[in-house]
Every structure is written in structure tokens, then in C-alpha cells.
Amino acid sequence: MRNEIAVVAGPKEWGDTRGSWLARVPKAVRRALRTEKETVSHRAVRGLWYGEITDPDHHAARDVRRAAEIIKARKEAAALARNYQTLIGKMNASDPDFFSAEIARLERVARLLGGGT
């Protein structure tokens, strides 16, 4: 569970204590799951981190795990979109007329993977 919490909390900043780092998790879970209110409390996150909550079916454990999976998938999709953009640039540099159909397809896929950007 610590790995999932670390994914959701993100990297520790230079001024973060463990408590302030863990305090970011409830809002990050809410954003990842796109819910109106926080479904995981700071106390539940601390309980998961320190092993006080061991039930894998606990609602906080399920929500943190699901949020971590979503965050990982978004990062992988963004990395794939960057790879496609690199490939598009190389195809444009090589022969844009010959690769025009493939470039258009890759641009659509990269836009979808990158969240419409």
C-alpha cells in the first residue's frame, strides 16, 4: 500500500515532512477519481501508511489503489503521446507528403492520449 500512496502523493518536495506529504493524498485521490468530496481522510491515509489498516477491502485502501492505477495510466498515456509526437516530427522531417496519412492518424491518437492537448 505504501507504493500506491507514494504514487498518489507524488514526489516529496524539499520542504515536505512525511505528514505534509501524506496530507496531499486525500485531495489527490478526489482529483483522480473525479468525485465531489474527499472519500479518503488524512487519518485513513496515515493508518494505511503505518500499517494500522490492513484490510485490503477497506474503502480507503480501495480508493487509494484505484487512484494510483489511474495516475499511473495517465502518466503512461502521456509518455506514449510524447513518443508519438517525436515520431511525427521525424516523419515530417523525412517526407511529409509520403507519410501524410500516418502523420494525421498519429496526431489524432497523440491528442487523445495526451488529454486533448
Contact 64, 1 (CB under 8 A): yes
Domain definitions of the chain by residue range: 2-113
* pLDDT over 70, % of the chain: 97
Give the tens place of pLDDT for each residue, 13-22: 999 999 999 9
- Tell me if 1 sits within 8 A of 61, measured CB to CB: yes
Give Cβ neighbours of residue 102 (< 8 Å, ≥ 6 apart).
91
Query: Shortest CA distance to 3 belongs to which of 71, 55, 57, 59?
Result: 71
Tens-digit pLDDT profile for residues 23-33: 999 999 999 99
Reported as a single tens digit per residue, the pLDDT across 84-98 is: 999 999 998 999 899
Per-residue model confidence as pLDDT tens digits over 33-56: 999 888 999 999 999 999 999 999
